Structure 1
Amino acid sequence: MYDFEWHKAHGDETSQSAQIIVPLLKSFCDVKSVLDVGCGDGQWLKCFESLGTPQILGVDGPWTDCGRLVIRPDLVRIQDLSNTLEIDRRFDLAMSLEVAEHIEGKFSKQFVENLTKHADLVLFSGAIPYQGGFRHINERWQSYWADLFNAQGYDVFDPFRSQIWDKKNVSVWYKQNMLFYVKRERHDLIANVKDYLFSNKINQLPIDVVHPRQYEAIASYSQIAFKPLMRKLPKQTFNKLSTILSGKI
């Protein structure tokens, strides 16, 4: 997972993203309790709390530096995110943003179950293939996660991405990957989401999309062109070609 230097460097961007997205969510969902799985330093929970959500709880791994949290340490539970999560209560909303790509693929189903068994509403995003990042070992298309949520009885909606697509103060991974899941049996919640989509004339995007800004980063020379291809060569060939290109021979 990201260490707290990453959270420090991206804290303002994360906070600004939350301050734009959380009010949108709260405008059609009565959220009084939130569980954030992979909460990092707690920026999203801090935003929910500041906007009137009275009950918040974060979960993150043993790397968590409790002295650098932006919420009270007693509001964060420490555990391996690959394991079964057991919290003796349910929440109005469970969320996990840009965390699942850090979990081994064999634990993907368990990770989704940890969210769905704690809330009927789930806000979720995970890195797509080639998005890149520290210890991204499980990058998947958005539809991969939608299928796992579907197997748990949750329908997918896209109320946010088209609204934040061009927002400068929102991180590109939220613009691209953030989807909203609702338990299929909760017809009242589904009706709220559909009413919101209709009344705001929101066009839902295709499930699998790449934001232009992310595409440009992925398609750049340094990301996918010659150097990464070189790394796939046998070691001796790679070393020889590197020497030639460096001008040392």
Structure 2
Amino acid sequence: MRTDVMRMNRKSWIRPDPDRSGPASEAGLGNFVFPRHEQKKRKMFAPEKKDTLRDTYTEEFFLEHQEYLPAYRYLAKLILSAFDACAVESVCDVGCGHGFLVECLRQEGISQSFGLDGSSSAEFLWNDTSHRGAYSVADLTSAEAVDALPPVDIVCSFETGEHLPKDAADTYIRTLTHHGPAAIFFSAATPFQNLGENPTHINEQQCGFWITAFARWGYELHVPATVALRNRMFSDFEVFRNAWWYPKNLLVFVPNGKRRKGIRLLMDENGPVETPLWFPPGMETDPVSNLMFERDFYEYLYIVCRHAKVSS
């Protein structure tokens, strides 16, 4: 495991912008912005709007993700480890792409594992005919997507929200929460996560945006579970060195107190006390990546500290 810890440089802190408002501000997290020269660079890479999801998310797009299979195996075990034994019987991965997480969950004994994606190109990789009925395609920007989502104990949606238009974000979260799952494991790319060079990222947001969106549908961030699971992932450098966005962005949501169901999230009593933060290989010297990581970690630490203050 890599032991070097990310160094914080005060001169490169992201500056809060008091003149901006939005969901992140409403959540009390603030809106952090890049320096003006980086904002200009970001505009240079503004994505062109595609006519269909199939045009944007081709078979080649999904094939590029095969190298992340070890991370999906880890995620499947991690998700199930957060609950009492045998408490989880069904899971749906929204934005499942190639279906790796669904396959890994089945290997862990969750036979009722399903996948839902917004692009028909993903079907190219669903070549296991015995489980093919577990996958479906639906327009994740449409309110009708809820009809394709089966009622399950757990919903997962990793690195999907950034691929959907901002004006569809509320519909997307409504779909995830529609059947009242006991927990939702979620992550989405933050601004400049791909250095502005990925045209499929059309709605990169800080986590405050999503926390506010989930709150509108009766779900709140489970801070202890989020911290525990991020700590575990950051402690496995070899697994996530090429899939670093999962430990950086993971958020665990549960129904608010009035709606909470019986599945109990376990506390990570044996996990690491401190989070071993690290930069992905090759990104340590990139100034924009430094800004992005520091901004995201500061926002995350703010959430954790605010939770600790409220709980004390």
Task: State the TM-score, normalized to the length of structure 2.
Answer: 0.61
1:4 and 2:59 matched: yes
Paired amino acid for 1:77: S
Distance 1:161 1:113 in 2: 25
Q: Identify if the C-alpha distance between structure 1 residues 75 and 201 changes in structure 2 by more than 3 Å, giving closer, same or farther.
A: closer
Q: Indicate the SS of the match to 1:57.
A: strand
The structure having more radius of gyration, on CA atoms, is: 1
Q: Does 1:144 align with 2:203?
A: no
Tell me the equivalent position of 2:82: 28
Q: 1:37 aligns with which of 94, 107, 111?
A: 94
Alpha-carbon distance between aligned partners in 2 of 1:223 and 1:204, rounded to the nearest angstrom: 21
213, 217, 228: which one pairs with 2:280? 213
> Residue 59 of structure 1 corresponds to which residue in structure 2?
116
Deviations, residues 144-195 of structure 1 (Å, cap 9, x unaligned):
1112112222121313111111422121110111111111221644xx32x4
Q: 1:124 corresponds to which letter in structure 2?
A: F
SS at match of 1:81: coil
Change (3 A) 1:22 1:110: same
CA distance in 2, matches of 1:89, 1:63: 18
Match of 1:239 in 2: none
Partner Cα distance (1:181, 1:38) in 2: 17
Extract unaligned runs of 5+ from structure 2: 1-55, 292-312
Q: Is the 8 A contact 1:125 1:179 kept in 2?
A: yes
Q: Counterpart of 1:12 in structure 2: which amino acid? A: E
Residue 13 of structure 2 aligns with which residue? none
The Cα of 1:218 is off from its aligned counterpart by 9.3
Distance in structure 2 (CA, Å) of the matches to 1:7 and 1:218: 29
Q: Is it true that 1:75 corresponds to 2:134 in the alignment?
A: yes
Could you say which residue in structure 1 is the equivalent of 2:158?
97
Residue 186 of structure 1 is matched in structure 2 by 260
CA contact (8 A) 2:95 2:157 kept: yes
Measured in 2, the distance between the counterparts of 1:12 and 1:130 equals 22
Matched with 1:123 is: 185
| 2:146 alignment partner in structure 1 | 86
Q: 1:175 to 1:188 in 2, by over 3 A?
A: same
Structure 2: distance between partners of 1:32 and 1:155? 22
Report the CA distance between 1:75 and its aligned residue: 1.8
Structure 1 residues 28 and 76, CA, compared in 2 at 3 Å: closer, same or farther? same
Change (3 A) 1:220 1:46: same
Q: 2:281, 2:201 → 1: CA distance?
A: 16
Q: 1:187 to 1:38 in 2, by over 3 A?
A: closer
Q: Amino acid of the residue matched to residue 129 of structure 1? A: P
* Distance (Å, rounded) in 2 between the aligned partners of 1:55 and 1:136: 30
Q: Does 1:163 align with 2:240?
A: no
CA distance in 2, matches of 1:221, 1:27: 35
Task: Say whether 1:196 aligns with 2:267.
Answer: yes
Q: CA deviation at 1:76?
A: 1.5
Please tell me whether the aligned partners of residues 4 and 41 of structure 1 are also in contact (alpha carbons under 8 angstroms): no
Cα separation, partners in 2 of 1:186 and 1:73, compared to 1, 3 Å? same
Amino-acid identity (%): 24
Q: Normalised by the size of structure 1, how large is the TM-score?
A: 0.75
What amino acid maps onto 1:96 in structure 2?
Answer: S
Could you tell me how far 1:86 is from its partner in structure 2? Answer: 2.4
